[in-house]
Amino acid sequence: MLGESDVRLTAWVHGHVQGVGFRWWTRSRALELGLTGYAANKADGRVQVVAQGPREACQRLLDLLESGQTPGQVDKVISDWSQPADAIAGFTER
């Protein structure tokens, strides 16, 4: 259920982030924060993270993605904030 203050974070994570447990780690952090969405491998080697929920929780997830404490090696994170789209059930790996 989306609340009035909910946002959608789309983050493109660049670096060595595929095949290292990055999506699983991201899913675990997002669920701890009560977010819904997904983490998906892209053909060019990036991981796309889409998270919906309270802005504070989405910002915390973004901070974690940029923390240097993730699996693999994150070189940069490009983020985009928007209004939440249709509700997403759970947080999945794609």
Q: Which of 28, 64, 22 is nearest to 37 (CA)?
A: 28
Please tell me the predicted confidence (pLDDT) of residue 31.
Answer: 97
pTM, full prediction? 0.94
Please tell me the predicted confidence (pLDDT) of residue 2.
Answer: 58
What amino acid positions are annotated as catalytic residues?
Answer: 23, 41
pLDDT tens, residue by residue, 19-76: 999 999 999 999 999 999 999 999 999 999 999 999 999 999 999 999 999 999 999 9
Which residue ranges form the domains of the chain, and what is each CATH number?
6-93 (3.30.70.100)
